[in-house]
Amino acid sequence: MSSSVLIVEDERRIASFIEKGLRANGFVPLCVSDGATALDVAMTADFDLIVLDLGLPDMDGFTVLRRLRHAGVRVPVVVLTARDGVRDTVAALEGGADDYMSKPFRFEELLARVRLRLRLRTERATEEVTVLSVGHISLDLRTRRARVGPRTIDLTAREFLLAETFLRHPGQVLAREQLLSAVWGYDYDPGSNIVDVYVGYLRRKLGAGTITTVRGMGYRLEPEPPFA
């Protein structure tokens, strides 16, 4: 069965170039040229992958991507951007993009990245993780139970989501904004200290030294948390 790809690109020449290339390689592409239409189509139709330009005229790609992820749309997204700065690349990836390419690009490379993302999506679907473990900490995503070593600990719904976010990214520094959007949603007040408060709750339940503060950047779950 052919994979369907939504192409969101306002430059007609580039959109046609991608569409023809994907169609010639067995894909079923659909092109739209603005963010509002992209959101509407992506919310109502089932695509296997989205190729998303960041520099859209009405609603930029960052906003489209953020709204899709906030709405629970998990389809892989490959971002196209004329911006080659590290800040924009990081912002796209942290906003939920799975991959990115800078313009100008070679179609062969884009095709390879599209195929890779589709293959990874298939592998994840067939090997769905139900238990997350880092050191002595484990979360059962089906039963919503948390354990620290042999002990079962009680976590509230928010604490469980926060713990899950950390366990999915062990050793990585997660900014407060990332944690806020993952657990409370993008519409939550960014000036709130709710993240710091809940990290404190989680530290007390998981154990001292499990989550460290990286000054000026955020928090990190240690890949081998100490076990008291």
Question: What global pTM score does this model have?
Answer: 0.56
Tokens 């095709």, residue located: 111
- Tens-place pLDDT, residues 71-81: 878 899 999 98
C-alpha angle with apex 147: 146 to 150, nearest 5 degrees?
A: 160
Predicted pLDDT of residue 11: 93
CATH topology of domain 4-126: Rossmann fold (3.40.50)
CATH topology of domain 131-221: Arc Repressor Mutant, subunit A (1.10.10)
pLDDT on residue 15: 95
pLDDT along the chain (228 residues), means of 10: 89 95 94 93 89 90 89 88 69 81 89 88 65 91 88 90 90 85 66 87 92 91 78
pLDDT of residue 85: 59
What local confidence, expressed as pLDDT, does residue 190 receive? 58
What pLDDT, on the 0 to 100 scale, is given for residue 125?
58
Cβ-Cβ contacts under 8 Å for 8 (sequence gap 6 or more): 31, 32, 33, 35, 38, 50, 51, 52, 53, 56, 61, 64
Q: Domain map of the chain by residue range?
A: 4-126, 131-221
1-12 confidence digits (pLDDT tens): 678 999 999 999
